[in-house]
Structure 1
Amino acid sequence: MILVFGTTGQVATELRALLPEAVFLGRDEADLTDPAHCAQKIAALKPEAVINAAAYTAVDKAETDEDAAALVNGAAPTEMAKACAALGIPFVHISTDYVFDGSGETPFAPDHPTAPLGAYGRTKLLGENGIRAAGGPFAILRTSWVFSAHGNNFVKTMLRLGAERDTLTIVADQIGGPTPARAIANACVDIANRLKTEPNTAGTYHFSGAPDVSWADFARAIFKKAGITCAVEDIPTSAYPTPAQRPANSRMECHTLDATFGIHRPDWKAGLADVLKDLEKTT
């Protein structure tokens, strides 16, 4: 049995479809602000593997709520990893490109020095460091620009705004790889299963969609695929200030994940087509 923390997030929703036999713990059953309680759940259930698909993802809110974000993103996964290490079972955790400073134009490799720009990245890095120190078979899967037919994400926001307006101004100087949540869910399961028999594959990996693109060009692709006639006007990040600073460069080097697990970078255009089909079914 696989135990998953999270029930309603984008990746957790995809995991529920992928793993109907798994046990899923929402925040009503596992309080992420009580890390010890999360560890107790693992010890009591004794699963074969644990996937943590829960996180504090409100990037801007974290700037004024860092203590809460640090509990959920830092202390909770650390205690989960310790509980998994005690049982000798795999722990798979989803992290983020926000642990880097977003400088330059070269894709960030998993071993590149970290330098978070804000509270969200700092708290995610706390979790990463705690997981590595726990001593069990783990995989940290850093990803970026997650989208799906569920929850709140860029694709759904663009579909809504594009249908309402003739023109949208979209940031064009942030570059990254949009990543389908379904692909992340599949990768997490594949990695967890592999870690059961090959704990030596433990480590930190990157997984993002291809090809890399700007937010503005991603929006154009969404509108084209959805048949929405909304023009996109490029703007710099400076024209759209937010409480938390976003990385300008979210490109991620994903070769080690491919070499170790045979998991290729997903084609976000194909993922976008799937999401649009899923949304059509619900409307």
Structure 2
Amino acid sequence: MSFTLLLTDVNSPLGKALEHELEREPFKLLAPSGGELDWSNEAAVIDYVEREQPDLVINCRGWEEAYYPGGQGQLINAARCLASACRQFELPLIHLSSYTVFGADAKGTHSEKDLPAPNTETGAAFVEAEQLITSVLQRFIVLRLSWVIGAYGNNHLTRLLSAFLAGASVNVNRRLRGSPTAQSDVARVAVAMAKQISCGAENWGVMHYCSGDACSEDEFADQVLQLLIQQQLLTAEPSVTLVDTEPEGEPPSAILGCRHARDNFGIQARSWRPSLLPLVKQWLHNREQTKHTLQ
């Protein structure tokens, strides 16, 4: 029997990673474009779900935009409409969320039982999106993520690479800690959960996933810089300034305890370090392609 999966975004870097991972699976994949479906229109989303009849939804709509000033509306609106559609048709939902829900909490590692306490618009938006889902659905997974890195988009890795390759000044905070997690690793985990759900798994609730290799922001920046030096990729000497003050507008810890994902789905955390060089090479390749396109 075929299993139909609805993926709400294939345009963002995280959405593309999910789409790429799903291409290897036997699922029938639904991935409507923004022009095909208005994700902020509840009636339109309900009509689409009724017509296409998916068996499971993976939602990353607005996930990346939520990190930009004023970009949180897409995340909240999509969560609201999907919650309504999934409730009406009794559909399970995997919703991607973020460590930013924990705000200024000084706890070193956040467990699934910790109460959200956001201190930014981004964190507040992720909390609101979660609550829209958890308040009306019983069959859901809210999957919170740590620092998500990749060769595409705006993330900890791409920002460092842009600055280092330009010889720009970079501030890194030794009090910021996280577990860098590759976009492809997030996709691996979400699809593994989807596969088990398609086979009848009934494990629901709030879960966390991040790499099993935590570090401070300055440690991550040093790893990136040393890799660029080893590969002889630097054309200018970057200036790195170490900051040792309480971070503003960013949770001091993005390290997540992943017990529920491990116990319920057998998910094993991977280190980000083996993927760093391939990601850097992919980013450089993308940059060269962009240069040639603009010439």
TM range (shorter): 0.7 to 0.9
Aligned 8 A contact 2:104 2:252 in 1: yes
Q: CA deviation at 1:237?
A: 5.3
> Structure 2: 5+ residue runs without aligned partners?
289-295
Residue 249 of structure 1 is matched in structure 2 by 253
Aligned 8 A contact 2:42 2:84 in 1: no
In structure 2, give the amino acid aligned to 1:49: L
Q: 1:274 aligns with which of 265, 271, 278?
A: 278
TM-score by length of 2: 0.83
Residue 217 of structure 2 is matched in structure 1 by 215
Residue 50 of structure 1 is matched in structure 2 by 57
**2-side partners of 1:263 and 1:175: how far apart?**
22
How many residue pairs match? The answer is 274
Q: CA deviation at 1:201?
A: 0.2
TM-score by length of 1: 0.86
Q: CA deviation at 1:140?
A: 0.8
Residue 91 of structure 2 is matched in structure 1 by 89
Q: CA RMSD in A?
A: 2.4
More moved, 173-182 vs 193-202? 193-202
Residue 122 of structure 2 is matched in structure 1 by 120
Residue 225 of structure 1 is matched in structure 2 by 227
Residue 206 of structure 1 is matched in structure 2 by 208
Q: CA deviation at 1:250?
A: 1.5
Q: CA deviation at 1:176?
A: 0.9
What is the SS of the residue equivalent to 1:247? coil
Residue 32 of structure 2 is matched in structure 1 by 25
Q: Aligned pair in 2 of structure 1 residues 237, 24: CA closer, same or farther (>3 Å)?
A: farther
Residue 139 of structure 1 is matched in structure 2 by 141
**1-side partners of 2:102 and 2:19: how far apart?**
30
**2-side partners of 1:251 and 1:87: how far apart?**
35
Aligned 8 A contact 2:46 2:85 in 1: yes
Higher gyration radius (CA): 2
Q: 1:12 aligns with which of 7, 10, 15?
A: 15
Q: Aligned pair in 2 of structure 1 residues 32, 171: CA closer, same or farther (>3 Å)?
A: farther
> Structure 1: 5+ residue runs without aligned partners?
none
Q: 1:181 aligns with which of 180, 183, 186?
A: 183
More moved, 247-256 vs 128-137? 128-137
The list of structure 1 runs, each at least 4 consecutive aligned residues, that deviate by more than 6 angstroms after superposition, is none
